[in-house]
Amino acid sequence: MKEVKHIFFDLDHTLWDYDKNAQETLTELYAQLNVSDSVPLKKFIKVYYEVNEKMWVKYNNKQINRDYIKEYRFVEVFRKVGIDESYAEDSSNYFMNNCSRKPHLIEYAKITLDYLVKKYKLHIITNGFNDVQPVKLSSSGIQDYFEVIVTSETSQARKPEPEIFEDALKKASASKIESVMIGDNPKTDVHGARDFGIKTILFDPSGRKRSMADYSIQSLDELIKIF
């Protein structure tokens, strides 16, 4: 990738360890709810992930908006596990306010960014929300690595739509030939960027996802070899 000068990263599940940070927050919330006699912690967390994933698929497909996620995510979780739904609003607020403040990054994220920032201009393209993503970057100590941060709210488009990639390249003063997108989602990150006309790298720790990415990596430090 000799032509590359700009590297665009997804944030959640690619750099910021959403699963670990969410699990910590959910464990704290579970303790506050005091429902251990009726709902096992593992079930509570498992159902949250199932509900959350389905809602984010709908969000990325523009079937629901962020307010719907905020209002109904924990309502659906509580309904499925048998917790009083009257606690859902406070639980949603707790999760939104505290999860983004967790500091955990994907393994090798920091060392990889330290290497890349010396040679390339780094940026973020995320479908996450304006009031949450900057907090994640700050809490995990990686905000200073990135020159441009584009969210689906600032660009009024969501990956895989071409408009969000176009907006990001414009703000970064980058051309397609000198840009690459790195993310964990084959549809939103890889196919979206590929259809737009920029190179792609799929981050897939499982090694099981299928995509048409130019490269597929299972560990972030593999980027050091590629670049």
From CA 203, how far away is CA 196, in angstroms rounded? 19
The residue written with tokens 């995320």 in the block is 126
Fold of 18-99: DNA polymerase; domain 1 (1.10.150)
DSSP state of 118: T
CA-to-CA distance for 115 and 2, rounded, in angstroms?
16
Instruction: Please give the helix or strand (H or E) that residue 219 lies within, else none.
Output: none
Domain 6-17+105-226 has CATH 3.40.50.1000: yes
Specify whether the backbone of 62 is left (phi greater than 0), alpha (psi in -120 to 50) or beta. left
pTM of the shown model: 0.94
Contact assessment for residue 120 and residue 7, using Cβ atoms and an 8 Å cutoff: yes
Return the structure tokens found at 180: 């690459």
Specify the residue for token string 């505290």: 98
Residues of the chain with CATH 3.40.50.1000: 6-17+105-226
Mind listing the pLDDT tens digit of every residue in the chain (227 residues)?
889 999 999 999 999 999 999 999 999 999 999 999 999 999 999 999 999 999 999 999 889 998 999 999 999 999 999 999 999 999 999 999 999 999 999 999 999 999 999 999 999 999 988 889 999 999 999 999 999 999 999 999 999 999 999 999 999 999 999 999 999 999 999 999 999 999 999 999 999 998 999 999 999 999 999 99
